[in-house]
């Protein structure tokens, strides 16, 4: 990406994407039991913008949920390498905080115009993600509000416990 979106437009896109993620993360069955949906593929290709400005989160094809009828193969990486969380890249169990990390990667790219984790090969990219090694967002784009940079930094924490727990917390932080 060679250009940077104005902050209000980027923030609108991110907030609406976080709202969609919050909806998926909070989805419950008829008895009120959470599905525990994890999208596992938050990336620019799966965030759609209509001509009217509506933002949709799509492609739940590799999502994981409590009632899922088909299970995925253990140890098989699914998703787009530059947007994986450290635990996803390691083939570990994922929860909603994995989506939060991927959202942070998406947010960083949308705001900075470059990916935080980008190398010559997929293996090197995964190594950067595993180490959570990237140039801080405020050094790439100095005009961003500190509160917005802090939200993205929280999403991109290596340890799951240091991230937002789910899309609802993320949405409230962006609001």
Residues designated catalytic = 41
**Alpha helix ranges (H) inside the chain:** 7-26, 86-89, 96-112, 122-131, 137-140, 146-155, 167-174
- Closest by CA to 84, choosing from 37, 34, 126, 29, is 126
């Amino acid at each position: 990406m060679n250009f940077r979106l104005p902050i209000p437009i980027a923030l609108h896109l991110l907030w609406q994407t976080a709202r969609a993620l919050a909806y998926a993360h909070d989805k419950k069955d008829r008895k009120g039991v959470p599905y525990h949906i994890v999208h596992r593929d938050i990336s620019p290709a799966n965030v759609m913008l209509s001509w009217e400005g509506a933002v949709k989160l799509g492609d739940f094809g590799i999502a994981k949920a409590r009632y899922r009828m088909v299970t995925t193969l253990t140890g098989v990486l699914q998703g787009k390498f530059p947007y994986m969380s450290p635990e996803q890249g390691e083939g570990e169990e994922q929860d909603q905080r994995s989506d939060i990390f991927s959202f942070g990667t998406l947010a960083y790219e949308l705001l900075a115009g470059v990916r935080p984790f980008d190398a010559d090969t997929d293996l090197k990219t995964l190594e950067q993600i595993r180490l959570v090694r990237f140039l801080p967002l405020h050094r790439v784009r100095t005009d961003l509000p500190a509160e917005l940079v802090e939200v993205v930094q929280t999403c991109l924490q290596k340890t799951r416990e240091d991230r937002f727990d789910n899309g609802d917390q993320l949405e409230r932080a962006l609001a």
